[in-house]
Amino acid sequence: MDASRLLRLKVAFSWSGSCCQTMCHCKRVHFVSGPYGGDFEEGELEGLQESQATEPDKYIWHDETIQICTVFGYEFVPDCPCGMGDRIGSVIENDHQKAAHYISLFINDREKDRQLEERLDVEAKGQIEGALKC
């Protein structure tokens, strides 16, 4: 696989993690407040804990590293209450042919967004992007 195609594949799907904090696509803040917590600035962790106490649905603490998934440029936390991971998984599992078509076009033609929009099956695009919305 050539380097540019591999880069587009990495843009389409990537996994990473955070030992401090990250924001899901739905705007919820996830932070580590356990023994494996990262290197916070002075007062930063305490501020997150205070925010979590007043807005528990928006500030979510973890006791270990937070998984982060990026799909087509949308970054989300797989176990976030928004359920984005479940929605994306459902689309891929339930209509894998349309999902594969979209992924193929994304990987092969990402630099040609206008042409991609013209060629892309509207229904497949709607299902994938619908799953990515919160």
CA distance 4 to 51: 42
What radius of gyration do the chain's Cα atoms show? 17
Least confident range from 24-38, 90-104, 112-126: namely 112-126
Helix (H, G, I), strand (E, B) or coil at 31: strand
Whether 27 shows a pLDDT value over 90: the answer reads yes
Residue 101's pLDDT is 75
Q: Is the pTM of this model over 0.85?
A: no
